[in-house]
Structure 1
Amino acid sequence: MTQPSAPYTIGIDTDATTLREADHLLQALAAELALPESVFGCTHLVRDGRPRVALSLAAGAEPVLRTARDRLTAQGYEVRDGAPDEVGRAVLYPGAGALTGTLTLTELLARSAIDRVTVLGTPEEPAPDMRLVTREHVRPQWQDGHLVLAAMPAAGGTLVPFEDPDPTPCCADH
């Protein structure tokens, strides 16, 4: 995860095993640490001998993360410099809280740190006046240093973020 506005990054190893669990942990830590809205908080899938979801925090000022590092280490988390990988899934980012209801893509981009929206299955950029139903769950990912939201077509000629806020677990009906 590398972006010019947030050059200081720490990675936090966790025992979270699902994205939902990691999202809640990241949001709880951000509230507990009183992190400013300018901080980026991402989840990262770790696929080693102990599959889990790690976290990263990135900020424009080192003192913000120094305090977070000290407090997280005191709580027993393993904290290291840098993100676990370059493709974090952003949960916390500037403007994330303003992405509620239905917005045009122009509004979405103006209100948040998201750089671009792509639509699955289409090579073209979506029209700026296209409406996105946020479902209050907008999770863009870092791609080549840009925060990109993957969306998909939905009812009524709208878009929705690709990631469903309430996914059905595999084999839920068995």
Structure 2
Amino acid sequence: MTAAPHALTLDPGLRDLTAADHHLRTLAAELALPEDVFGCTHLIRGDRPRVAVSLALPSGPLPRTALEGLTAQGRTWTEGVPDGSGRAVLYPGAAALTGTLTVAETLSRSAITSVVTLGSPEPPSPETRLATGGHVRPQWQGDDLVLTTMPAARGLLVPFEVPDPTPCCADH
């Protein structure tokens, strides 16, 4: 994410990632953003914890029509991103990451540059199967978009982030 000189950040005051994901998808649709847009979430800590969102294109600034659309909607933004570790919701190839794919297919179909597995010092082999569950949220680590996975049954990998996590202490 450090290589996104034309990024902008919106801080809609959201409190959770699910709402931020929805917000990014809605913005992309309303503003007719191109398929190669990067839409990321960023956790803002401090006195008022919240989730901000950023938008960027790999090849230049967002289209003028998108900026005009944001202005017409009364939205304000700041230039740049709040941190270099945004969690990607929208990224080139994200829509193609459904079902079960190999690690090699995941890398070739999307902007994800590497896959890592929790607890393993080595990356998974290109033939390792990844059950996406339709929810693939890689994270920027410097200039690399990295998908963190974890082992699952039958030798599969699954993304570390699940779409509907059980809240801590849900059974009390």
Q: Secondary structure at the match of 1:126?
A: coil
Q: Secondary structure at the match of 1:76?
A: coil
> What root-mean-square deviation, in Å, do the aligned CA atoms of Structure 1 and Structure 2 show?
1.3
Alignment match, 2:2 = 2
Alignment match, 1:149 = 147
CA distance in 2, matches of 1:134, 1:19: 18
Q: Within 5 Å, which residues of 2 pair with 1:70-89?
A: 70-89=68-87
CA deviations on 1:113-142 (whole Å, 9 max, x unpaired) are 000000001111110000000000000000
TM-score, normalised with respect to structure 2: 0.94
1:91 aligns with 2:76: no
Alignment match, 1:47 = 45
Alignment match, 2:36 = 38
Are the counterparts in 2 of residues 73 and 79 from structure 1 also a CA contact under 8 Å?
Answer: no
Query: Segments of 4+ in structure 1 off by > 3 A?
Result: none
Residue 88 (structure 1) shift: 0.2
Q: Give aligned-pair identity as a percent.
A: 63
- Counterpart amino acid of residue 50 in structure 1: R
CA deviations on 1:10-61 (whole Å, 9 max, x unpaired) are 0111121000110001011101111111110000000022111000001123
Name structure 2 gaps, 5 residues minimum: none
CA distance in 1, matches of 2:55, 2:113: 19
Q: Secondary structure at the match of 2:89?
A: strand
Name structure 1 gaps, 5 residues minimum: none
Residue 78 (structure 1) shift: 2.7
Q: Secondary structure at the match of 1:62?
A: coil
Are the counterparts in 2 of residues 13 and 77 from structure 1 also a CA contact under 8 Å?
Answer: no
CA distance in 1, matches of 2:113, 2:144: 6
Residue 8 (structure 1) shift: 1.3
Are the counterparts in 1 of residues 6 and 62 from structure 2 also a CA contact under 8 Å?
Answer: no
Q: Secondary structure at the match of 1:8?
A: coil
Alignment match, 2:169 = 171
CA distance in 1, matches of 2:118, 2:85: 18
TM-score, normalised with respect to structure 1: 0.93
